[in-house]
Structure 1
Amino acid sequence: MIVVTTPTGSIGHQTLARVIDAGAPVRVIARDPSRLTPEVRERTEVVKGSMDDPGAVAEACTGADAVLWVLPPDPRATSVHGHVIDFTRPLCDAVIAQGVQRVVGVSSLGRGTARKAGQISAVFAMDHLIESTGVHYRSLGMPGFMENILWQLQPLTRQGMFFGLLPGDRKGPACATRDIAATAAGLLLDDTWTGQDDIALPGPEDLSPDDMAAVMSEVLGRPVTYRQVPADAYRADLISHGMSEPWAQGLVDMAAAVGAGIYGTGRYPSRTASPTTFRQWCEDVLRPAAAAA
């Protein structure tokens, strides 16, 4: 039995589709099962509940061999670290009590080098807590998702602009969620791996925000530019839209750490496991989304 968390999320639903297609028995945890597609409800066992609910997690992990663990964000959380620990502890208790053999966790690049990196530092605390159970574990280390661009679809389509905290010429890696899902599904379906290790999924290339703007301009057939936002203004804007101060500060700290180079550039064991280029992602995902918008 394979358990998939966040089955309606970007990584979760793509991983789930691959596992279902492989014919493996699957169980999902869903806060709102009505959001699941009819096919998912028909072909999986559904446990209704939240991932920070010990009862729901224990029920989902009963008889499970492997778990995909994806932490859901909570922009209103009063503590970034507390949010991560509150969600991860029920999993660890269930892993020990139910004898789960393998866990695949969605983490981040930069492990071992990140300090005061906001949400990135917190997700490394998740890794350590899961590993403390002794379960066979694979931590998927990725940079920012290409899909993060979709959060700015409105200014992108209406103003031809997108915004961020990094300098426009700061090159770094980016990964498509479909590549993360493909790696996660492969691990969940493989019952031969053991031990605890990190798997880097940096995407195939390093691009700056200005590089991305140039690619988007070509794919969308309209000018797109990038504008760096001062950290204080960015934080204030997030808080004005309802985000908690700790979560907003975490995002600012995370961007500062990325700007300082915690992801590295080009120094990865392999880039073949996450092959989708930014141009290909723009053609397959961004262009249809922009047309619909």
Structure 2
Amino acid sequence: MMVLTTPTGQIGRQVLDIVLDSAEAIRLIARDPSRLSPRVRERVEVVQGSHDDIDVVTKAFEGADSVFWVVPPNPRAKSVQDHVLNFIRPVCEAINSQGVKRVVGISSLGRGIAKNAGQISAIFAMDDLIESTGVSYRSLCMPGFMENMLWQVESIKRQGMLFYPMPGDRKVPHCATRDIATVAAKLLLDHSWSGQESISVCGPEDLSFNDMAQIISEVIERPIRFQQVPGETYKATMVQHGMTEAWAQGLIDMAASVDRGIYDAETRTPHSAAPTGFRQWCEEVLKPAVLA
């Protein structure tokens, strides 16, 4: 039995798509089961509720061998750290009480290096707490998701611009969520591994925001340029759109930490270099979103 959290989320739904055709028994934790397709509801068992609820998690983990664990973002959280810990405490308790054997979690590059890195630092605290249970754990460590660019679809459409509080020439890795899901699903379907390990999942190239703006321009066939914005300006814009100050400050701290080089310590290898390049992702995902 495997348990999946966030089955309608960006990564979780793609993991579910991959494992659905396997012979594995699958149980989902879902706040709103009506968002699941009829095909999914016919195939899986669903525990309704949130995975920050100890009763929900304990029920879902009963008899489970493997768990796919994601802490969902909450831009309205009053504290980034408290938000993450509110999800981690139940999972750690249920891992021990229900005898879960393996957990695959979504983390970040930069563990052991990042300091005061907003949401990234909170996720590293998650890794530490899950590992403290002694469960066999694979922490999937990624840079920024290519899908984060979808937040800027409106500015691409209306202004021909990308905005972010980092220098335009700072090259960093990026990855597509489909590649993360592929790695996660493979681990969930493999019953042979044990112990605790971090696994890096990077895209095939390092790109700056200037590079990405150029690629987007070529793909959608209209000029797009990148504009760095001061951190406080970016934060004020996020708060204006409904984000809490704490969550917005976490994003600023995260961007500053990436700019300081927390992703640079990870050398790309054939095993960590996921296949989806940014141009391919733009053709298949971003372009349809911009033209919609």
Per the normalisation by structure 1, the TM-score is 0.97
Residue number in structure 1 paired with 2:282 = 282
Matched, 1:236 2:233: no
Residue number in structure 1 paired with 2:86 = 86
> Could you tell me how far apart the structure 1 residues matched to 2:170 and 2:268 are?
18
> Which structure 2 residue ranges, 5 or more long, are not aligned?
none
CA contact (8 A) 1:173 1:207 kept: yes
Alignment of 1:132-281 (within 5 A): 132-264=132-264, 267-270=267-270, 272-281=272-281
CA contact (8 A) 1:168 1:228 kept: yes
Q: Secondary structure at the match of 2:20?
A: helix
Q: How far is 1:265 from its partner?
A: 6.7
Q: How far is 1:269 from its partner?
A: 3.9
Q: Secondary structure at the match of 2:212?
A: helix
Matched, 1:39 2:39: yes
Deviations 1:107-156 (A, max 9, x none): 00000100000000000000000000000000000000000011111111
Residue number in structure 1 paired with 2:59 = 59
Q: Secondary structure at the match of 1:73?
A: coil
> Could you tell me how far apart the structure 2 residues matched to 1:144 and 1:272 are?
14
**Alpha carbons of 1:231 and 1:112: their partners in 2 closer, same or farther (altered >3 Å)?**
same
Q: How far is 1:189 from its partner?
A: 0.3
> Which structure 1 residue ranges, 5 or more long, are not aligned?
none
> Could you tell me how far apart the structure 2 residues matched to 1:191 and 1:18 are?
16
Q: How far is 1:33 from its partner?
A: 0.9
Q: How far is 1:223 from its partner?
A: 0.8
Paired residue type of 2:23: G
Taking only the aligned residue pairs, the percentage that are identical comes to 61
> Could you tell me how far apart the structure 2 residues matched to 1:236 and 1:202 are?
31
Q: How far is 1:218 from its partner?
A: 0.8
Paired residue type of 1:116: N
> Could you tell me how far apart the structure 1 residues matched to 2:237 and 2:277 are?
31
Q: How far is 1:268 from its partner?
A: 3.1
CA contact (8 A) 1:183 1:273 kept: no
> Could you tell me how far apart the structure 2 residues matched to 1:171 and 1:265 are?
13
Number of corresponding residues: 292
Paired residue type of 2:130: I
> Could you tell me how far apart the structure 1 residues matched to 2:79 and 2:154 are?
29
Deviations 1:178-236 (A, max 9, x none): 00000000000000011000001121100000000111111111111111111011111
Residue number in structure 2 paired with 1:23 = 23
> Could you tell me how far apart the structure 2 residues matched to 1:193 and 1:271 are?
17
Q: Secondary structure at the match of 2:12?
A: helix
CA contact (8 A) 1:18 1:182 kept: yes
> Could you tell me how far apart the structure 1 residues matched to 2:33 and 2:218 are?
40
CA contact (8 A) 2:175 2:201 kept: yes
Q: How far is 1:14 from its partner?
A: 0.1
Paired residue type of 1:101: K
> Could you tell me how far apart the structure 2 residues matched to 1:270 and 1:37 are?
36
CA contact (8 A) 2:66 2:188 kept: yes
Q: Secondary structure at the match of 1:10?
A: coil
Paired residue type of 1:218: E
CA contact (8 A) 1:206 1:265 kept: no
